[in-house]
Structure 1
Amino acid sequence: MDYRQITPFGADRPAADDAPTLAQLDRDLDDMWTAYQAASFGYVTARLPSLLAHAQAAAEYYNGDDLMHARRVLGLAYQLAATQLTKLGEAELAWIAADRGLNAARTTGDPVVTGSLYRSVTHALLSAGRYSEAVRLTERAAGYLEANLSQPTPELLSIHGTLFLASSMAASRNNDRTATRAFLDAADESAKRLGHDANHVWTAFGPTNVAIHRVATAAELGDVQVAIDLGPRIDTAPLPMERRVRHALEVARTYSRRNRVDDAQATLLDAEQLAPEQVRYHFLSRELVLGWIRQQPGKPSTVLVGLARRLNVLS
């Protein structure tokens, strides 16, 4: 929310000694994304403001190709901020971060970075409940990338595929089964072309992530039994921890919708063992636990009370 980013009274151009090197920026960006995918949410949140400030300083200092490099880093740093804020349930701040990241990315002319930021804006729209807009945006973004797909790099294939995964979630929340199926099939085609699970541009994209989204979209469309049948059978071991635990939260929510609360709580407790920070701070786990507490006909179990206290939803 630094006012210097949105007024004409920006800070003075950084001196050479104050501008970070591009190599250091690259290392810091990779460190932050790696920590996010390892579900170290506290680490990421504490250090993101510094990364954004350094990337902005670099974008103000450098020229030519170095300026484009700095803007790519700035765009991806804002994407990480938007992604993290979405997980924490901060939809409005996520939208601001995604919008600023896209503005930085578009100036680079880099389809991979720009496509990645389009995905970030889509997720921000999703978190704000603007599902039709999210679908339209991802369709336009996919069209923007289409010209580069005759001989795509693995990075571009991954970005292209994750755009369709995002749009499948938007379509399912909009109760559009036909569009959901079409988007999942398009993502599956990109995953087949890629050939394996990978993590290009921190997408965690591949066949397993497509399978995870088939479960999530089934749950959104009300096909809860389909989600229960498929979800627990997916081997998420090839994916980063954040993706693995996010899928576990979806499985827990699906169990809860079928009133299989014991299975849901067991799944959430297992996820907490893998990534305690992600479970503690993710809005979905907090909503689940708070709902279980409120729905208890009698006194909640000691295990549930302990979980609720660790998630700060019960004093």
Structure 2
Amino acid sequence: MVSGSIGERIAAYRRRRGLSQAALAGLIGRSESWLSQVERGVRSVDRMSILLDMAKVLHVDVESLTGRPWQYAPNGGATPSDLGEVRRYFARYDHLFGDDLESSLNASALRVQAADAHKRYQAAEYEDLVTDLPELLLAADSLHRMAGSAERREMLLSYASTYVVAAKLLTKMGAADLAQLAADRCATAALDADSLEAQGMAAYQVVCALLRGDRPEDAESLAMKMATRITSSAHSDSPSLVSVAGSLWLISAVIAGRRTERGEAYRRLSEAQRLADLLGHDANFAWTAFGPTNVAIHRVSVAAELGDASEALQVATAVNPDSLPAGLNSRKAQIYLDLAWAQAQRKRDAEAILHLLEAERIAPNAVRYNVVVREMVREILSRSRRSKTTALHNLALRAGVID
């Protein structure tokens, strides 16, 4: 069996079959740049279906690619035990049968509950929020159908906000199909409400769901179109539009980084920086966490996506995550996750572990439900078989890498 990381194993078996990167990428429906990043250890293979396709093309079994038993393959790890209740709710279509949905919340209470859900998501309280999500969606759907004409627009905006946070959470949990459905419902409501801000928020969530569902081309097209559209209307007296447009430029930059298009990635970061300068301070308008510090964090993330560990470490020196508004735990944790990746790439595993532990201290669920973190921990474990530390072993347990 070939030794090394997953990327190194894939490269070795690809060469044994006499396939170029372009040929293998085409056979499994991925881009050549994506495969190049996987083989270099820049990206992880976060879907079992892709590993199965690779194994079939390369005439090996999955374990030969992973170097581990099935349970250690990517896309394993933690999933919330009660996501099934959310799936069952999305499968309900009571209104088709004339059944009235009943909720204990009124319109005012829904606004409060939706705002609280956004705060809990940004604090990385994913598990508790998943439990409460069906009841929140029930309230949004019930009030949406009962709203009179006088209060219809306000209700549509509350409905859209509720489904935005649902899409965020479901994307984070890896349920790309449900996330896209939630984002689509949000987009429909945002159009009915004639709100450009809500339309941008919905588009951002559709982009995230498409990325999670391995559809980067569709995600990029939507992100760029909506970023360009909203930017033309984003002025200093409309901080929410500035923030939504800026967030769309940021995710567009990340997508360009994944395609290793350095110039385009940094051009998009420059657009986001201009909007952050226009906003003038770190904020959280439209639940975007957008501002100068978030742009700085994304510079580190883009460097990581480009596979440039040295640059990621360098630009991270300009980031002060404590400048972010209170409660944005998942954003604060992201800088440490990117730093952990950069150190792991340089095989400085002790430093990588320290960064992972700091991210976990800030936002435990942001680490536990992160596919890249799990793959990173696996790689560090594979290099540390003779000197496993208690900290690394316990981190691997909490991240769902080992039982």
The change in CA–CA distance for 1:65 and 1:268 in structure 2 (over 3 A counts) is farther
1:163 alignment counterpart: 248
Residues 1:214 and 2:299 are matched in the alignment:
yes
Contact kept, 8 Å, 1:4 with 1:11, in 2: the verdict is: no
The amino acid that maps onto 2:365 is E
Pairs aligned (count): 312
Q: 2:174 aligns with which of 76, 89, 103?
A: 89
CA shift for structure 1 position 129? 2.9
SS in 2 for 1:185: helix
SS in 2 for 1:45: helix
SS in 2 for 1:237: helix
The change in CA–CA distance for 1:139 and 1:276 in structure 2 (over 3 A counts) is closer
The amino acid that maps onto 1:203 is T
2:207 alignment counterpart: 122
| Identity within the alignment, % | 33
1:3 alignment counterpart: 91
Return the alpha-carbon distance in structure 2 between the equivalents of residues 65 and 177 of structure 1. 50
Q: 2:277 aligns with which of 189, 192, 197?
A: 192
Q: Which range moves more in the overlay, 90-99 or 249-258? A: 90-99
2:308 alignment counterpart: 223
Output the TM-score relative to the length of structure 1.
Answer: 0.91
Contact kept, 8 Å, 1:55 with 1:71, in 2: the verdict is: no
Residues 1:277 and 2:365 are matched in the alignment:
yes
Return the alpha-carbon distance in structure 2 between the equivalents of residues 55 and 122 of structure 1. 23
2:342 alignment counterpart: 254
CA shift for structure 1 position 249? 1.2
1:293 alignment counterpart: 381
Residues 1:306 and 2:402 are matched in the alignment:
no
SS in 1 for 2:323: coil
CA shift for structure 1 position 8? 7.0
Q: 2:99 aligns with which of 3, 6, 12?
A: 12
CA shift for structure 1 position 99? 2.1
2:260 alignment counterpart: 175
Question: What does the per-residue CA deviation read over 1:108-146, in whole Å, with 9 as the maximum and x for residues that have no partner?
Answer: 111111111111111122222322222211221123324
1:40 alignment counterpart: 125
Question: What does the per-residue CA deviation read over 1:124-174, in whole Å, with 9 as the maximum and x for residues that have no partner?
Answer: 222223222222112211233245335641111111111100111111112
The amino acid that maps onto 1:272 is E
Residues 1:52 and 2:137 are matched in the alignment:
yes
The change in CA–CA distance for 1:129 and 1:254 in structure 2 (over 3 A counts) is farther
Q: 2:223 aligns with which of 130, 134, 138?
A: 138
Give 1 or 2 for the bigger CA radius of gyration.
2
SS in 2 for 1:259: coil
The amino acid that maps onto 2:368 is R
The amino acid that maps onto 2:401 is V
Give the unaligned 5+ runs of structure 2.
Answer: 1-86
Contact kept, 8 Å, 2:273 with 2:295, in 1: the verdict is: yes
CA shift for structure 1 position 267? 0.5
Residues 1:201 and 2:286 are matched in the alignment:
yes
Q: Which range moves more in the overlay, 265-274 or 72-81? A: 72-81
Return the alpha-carbon distance in structure 2 between the equivalents of residues 282 and 167 of structure 1. 20
